[in-house]
Amino acid sequence: MSKRTKAIIVVTLLSLLGGIALSLRHMLSPRVVARAITPDGVELCVVQESGRDFPPFRTSVVFRKPNTNWGWFYYDHEDWYWRTGRISLDTTTRVATIYRDGEPRVTFKWDTERFTLMRPDHFFACSGAQSRLRGDWAPGKRIE
């Protein structure tokens, strides 16, 4: 085998290993898959992080009104990878709609904090955050 062939093989293997490492880092680190800010400053995010179960991801919806801690809502503790999500805001009704794969999955009425989960396998509704996150929490950090 020539030196050139060996070099090509080594570079190819190193590139593959680097790509795998970067993909794993991306998938295992907490990440925001959708984010929106309402005109009155309410932030809303869909956050996904590696979980302990299989399927391997835990997905949450978090929100924060100005000058408050983040509120947390359950989405799924055994979820599949979200490449992206989308949040649309209806400023007239003050309702945010979270879409996954083009389908509405959550509505959130930000003035009353009314959260409605509409997954095909699970329907849930509540008013007010299910829990509050620590004051130093920010999107991109692990939810404890």
Q: Which residue has the higher pLDDT, 9 or 45?
A: 45
Query: What is the pTM assigned to this prediction?
Result: 0.80
Torsion of the alpha carbons at 126, 115, 133 and 85, rounded to the nearest 10: 150
The per-residue pLDDT for 26 is 46
For the chain, how many residues are written?
144
Question: How far is it, in rounded angstroms, from Cα 90 to Cα 21?
Answer: 40
DSSP 139: B
The per-residue pLDDT for 14 is 59
Q: How would residue 22 be classed by pLDDT, with cut points 50, 70 and 90?
A: very low
Q: What is the pLDDT of residues 70-107, one digit of tens each?
A: 999 999 989 999 988 999 999 999 999 999 999 999 99
Question: How far is it, in rounded angstroms, from Cα 109 to Cα 123?
Answer: 16
Question: How far is it, in rounded angstroms, from Cα 2 to Cα 123?
Answer: 62
